[in-house]
């Protein structure tokens, strides 16, 4: 009976110690992580300009998720490939991301910023400007590098008001 009580006490102590570990805290990203995010977003912008889809995908985690405005959630590298294959095939893209803040927690680096540029239809037509905000989560890989893991973005420009019906 003493052995059972002793085992119970040891188990309780171990569980309490495991639960008492502090959760990782959000902190300003390290200088190397800030530099890595700057390089990553600059490379993503370059990929958009040149249509380098394979390079873009090499910077993305296999389980990447993208939350684009007014679109279904894009889950996984294959789905992201199809999304961007269509976008790169339809438009010439000139885009610049500007990280505004970068934080880290555990193996994640979070970047919030703005993305601006133009989409010019390859079939002809006027360039369309965009002014977006974004949140990107980068996950640290086993080799210490960062890859795009989660992305959400939408417009900084409010939608146009719906037309009003003429008064009679």
Residue 128 lies in a domain: yes
Name the domain count of the chain: 1
- CATH (domain of 59): 3.10.450.50
pLDDT in tens, 16-66: 555 666 667 778 889 999 999 999 999 999 999 999 999 999 999 999 999
The answer to whether the beta carbons of residues 24 and 105 sit under 8 Å apart is yes
Burial class (CB in 10 A: 0-12, 13-18, 19+), 56: buried
**H or E element that contains 32:** helix 31-50
In a domain, 19, yes or no: no
Looking at the whole model, is its pTM more than 0.95? no
């Amino acid at each position: 009976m003493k052995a059972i009580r002793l085992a119970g006490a040891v188990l309780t102590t171990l569980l309490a110690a495991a639960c008492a570990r502090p959760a990782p805290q959000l902190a300003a990203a390290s200088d190397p992580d800030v530099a890595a995010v700057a390089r990553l977003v600059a490379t993503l912008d370059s990929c958009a300009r040149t249509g380098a889809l394979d390079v873009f995908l090499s910077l993305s985690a296999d389980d990447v998720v993208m939350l684009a405005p007014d679109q279904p959630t894009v889950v996984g590298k294959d789905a992201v490939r199809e999304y961007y294959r269509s976008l790169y095939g339809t438009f010439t893209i000139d885009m610049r991301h500007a990280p505004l803040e970068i934080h880290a927690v555990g193996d994640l680096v979070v970047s919030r910023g703005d993305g601006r540029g133009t989409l010019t239809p390859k079939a002809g037509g006027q360039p369309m400007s965009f002014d977006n905000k974004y949140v990107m989560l980068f996950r640290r890989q086993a080799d210490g590098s960062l890859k795009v893991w989660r992305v959400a973005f939408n417009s900084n420009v409010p939608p146009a008001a719906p037309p009003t019906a003429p008064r009679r």
